[in-house]
Amino acid sequence: MTDTNAAAASVDALSFEDALRELETIVETLEQGRGSLDDAIAAYERGAALKKHCQKKLEEARLKVEKIKLDESGQPSGTTEFDA
């Protein structure tokens, strides 16, 4: 497995909250200009992967919410099958 594939796999294993927390840390580091150019490029690439992962997780959550069934009184009565 290449480093890029390993990094992508590790991002996919993160929860939304963990990915967002790491992304916030990367943004702070880049904004402060700490580290070398190579480190900044690597951090930017990691941040882009984290952003994509967070967007995917949010979209999945949105679709799940849209699938919630409501009864006549507007109360949740179950869900429909979610197709990823």
In tens, the pLDDT along 36-71 reads 999 999 999 999 999 999 999 999 998 888 888 777
Nearest to 61 by CA among 22, 13, 16, 8: 16
Q: Would you place residue 3 in the very low, low, confident or very high pLDDT band (cuts 50, 70, 90)?
A: low
Nearest of 10, 16, 31 to residue 62 by alpha carbon = 16
**What tens digit of pLDDT does each residue of 16-29 get?**
999 999 999 999 99
C-alpha separations of 74 from 19, 62, 63, 71, 78 in Å: 34, 19, 19, 5, 12
